[in-house]
Amino acid sequence: ISRFPGKISDLLVQRITFTRDMHNEVPEDFIKELNKWSLECMMQVLFATEIGSLRSTSYLGHQETDRVLKSLTDATDALRNCESGIQLWRVYETSSFTKLVESIKNLERFPCKHIPLLRHDTKLEQRLEMLQSNL
């Protein structure tokens, strides 16, 4: 696992180099690239697999990676809205609560779809059992 973060970080540096403008600045939406980098790191640590979200061609396809990242962002925003101020979601179902539940359901599909594909590796088997016990 120790070699993976360096490899992924190198891909991020390449991405930064590629996307910088003439003022050496990255675009305003570069946070998406950082989110892809963090998702890639998480997948390497948990599943010892590369999903290719920082490459021009992705193992999962960029649509699926984008859906996961959007669901993570939506869940974070919805949770922030639910927990800040008056917590009306405890009394009735607010739009933020509905968005949170929907985002979590979308996120659940991702590991449920990909965990069975990784079952052939015995080292991963132990990690997956640990991960599933925490879900």
Domain extent for 48: 3-134
- Residue 131, pLDDT score: 72
Within 10 Å of residue 86's Cβ, how many Cβ atoms? 7
- Residue 1, pLDDT score: 46
Is pTM beyond 0.75 here?
Answer: no
- Residue 125, pLDDT score: 67
Give me the average pLDDT of each 10-residue run along the chain (135 residues): 69 86 88 85 76 62 78 93 91 94 90 68 66 71
Query: What is the DSSP track for 52-116?
Result: -TTSSS-SS-HHHHHHHHHHHHHHHHHHHHHHSSS-GGGTS--HHHHHHHHHHHHHHHHHHHHTG
- Domain count of the chain? 1
